[in-house]
Amino acid sequence: MERSKLSVEDFAIGRKLGEGRFGTVFLCEMVKSNFVCAIKVVKKELLQENADHMLQTKREIELHRHMKHTNILRWFAYFYDHHKVYMVLEYAALGNLLKYTQSLENPMPEAQCAHVADSIAAALDYCHFRQVCHRDVKTVNILVAEGFGIKLADFGTAVHVPSSRMKTVFGTLDYLAPEMVDAETGPAYTVKVDNWSLGVVLYEILTLELPFYRESKCDTADAIRNCDMNTPKRELSADMLRIIKSLLTTDANDRLDLKDLQSDAWLTSQVATFAETLPPPPTATHRENPFLESM
CB 176 within 8 A of CB 197: yes
The pTM of the full predicted model, rounded to 2 decimals, is 0.92
Residues 6+ apart with CB under 8 A from 239: 266, 267
Axis crossing angle, helix 238-247 with helix 192-207, rounded to the nearest 10: 140
Averaged pLDDT, 282-286: 56
Q: What is the pLDDT of residue 2?
A: 52
CA distance 141 to 23: 14
| Phi, psi (deg, nearest 5) at residue 268 | -65, -35
Mean pLDDT of 138-153: 97
44 is in an annotated binding site: yes
3-state secondary structure the chain: CCCCCCCHHHEEEEEEEEECCCEEEEEEEECCCCCEEEEEEEEHHHHHCCHHHHHHHHHHHHHHCCCCCCCECCEEEEEECCCEEEEEECCCCCCEHHHHHHHCCCCCCHHHHHHHHHHHHHHHHHHHHCCEECCCCCHHHEEEECCCEEEECCCCCCEECCCHHHHCCCCCHHHCCHHHHCCCCCCCCCCHHHHHHHHHHHHHHHHCCCCCCCCCHHHHHHHHHCCCCCCCCCCCCHHHHHHHHHHCCCCHHHCCCHHHHHCCHHHHHHHHHHHCCCCCCCCCCCCCCCCHHHC
Reported confidence tier of residue 3, pLDDT bands at 50, 70, 90 = low
For the cut 70, the answer to whether the pLDDT of residue 282 exceeds it is no
Taking only the tens place, the pLDDT of each residue in 41-74 is 999 988 888 878 888 899 999 999 999 999 999 9
Q: What is the mean pLDDT of the chain?
A: 92
CA pair distance 189, 286, nearest whole angstrom: 42
Which active-site residues does the annotation give? 136
pLDDT of the residue at 120: 98
Region of 116 (left: φ > 0; alpha: ψ -120 to 50; beta: rest) is alpha
Q: Which residues on neighbouring strands pair with residue 87, listed in sequence order? A: 40, 78
Asked if residue 90 belongs to a known ligand binding site, the reply is yes
- Residue 154, annotated ligand binder? yes
Listed residue (268, 212, 264, 274) closest to 243, CA to CA: 264
- Kindly list the structural domains of the chain, giving each domain's residue range(s) and its CATH number in brackets, ordered by start: 8-91 (3.30.200.20), 97-275 (1.10.510.10)
Q: Return the pLDDT at 284.
A: 55
Report the phi/psi class of residue 263: left, alpha or beta, with left for phi > 0 and alpha for psi in -120 to 50. Answer: alpha
Q: What is the pLDDT of residue 292?
A: 57
Which of 15-29, 165-179, 193-207 ranks highest by mean pLDDT?
193-207
Paired strand residues for 38: 27, 89
- Helix 110-129 vs helix 192-207: crossing angle, to nearest 10: 160
**Cis peptide leading into residue 162 (ω within 30°):** yes
281 pLDDT above the threshold of 80: no
21 marked as part of a ligand binding site: yes
